[in-house]
Amino acid sequence: MKVREVMTPNPVICMSEDSAQKVAAMMREYNVGSIPVVVDRQSRTLLGVITDRDIAMKIVAEGLDPRKTAIEKHITLNPVTCRDGENLEKCEKAM
């Protein structure tokens, strides 16, 4: 089985300057626990990823204001990725 058979082809994205509140609202709206962070909306070049746990543990639990705190310092940079044509088993092993 190929990755393309199980992946989301056009995932919701955010940018590093987005607030934690905006990203959390997107997670709620789309019912996801992580969102790819891109350099810009046109190229959609992957910068990193932000998770609901990142927002909870790194922003909310530290007492930072989610409305004013950009996610840029709280994302995981250079996440492990795979291509849509790769075998799913190879991707699973990378995870």
pLDDT of residue 65: 97
Q: Which residue range is the domain that position 56 belongs to?
A: 3-94
Number of domains in the chain: 1
Q: Distance between CA 8 and CA 61 in Å, rounded?
A: 30
- R_g (Cα) of the chain, nearest Å: 14
What CATH number does residue 67 fall under? 3.90.1280.20
pLDDT in tens, 67-86: 999 999 999 998 989 999 99
pLDDT of residue 73: 95
State pTM to two decimals: 0.88
Write the CB contacts of 2 (distance below 8 Å, at least 6 apart in sequence). Answer: 84, 85, 86, 87, 88
Q: Mean pLDDT throughout 53-68?
A: 97
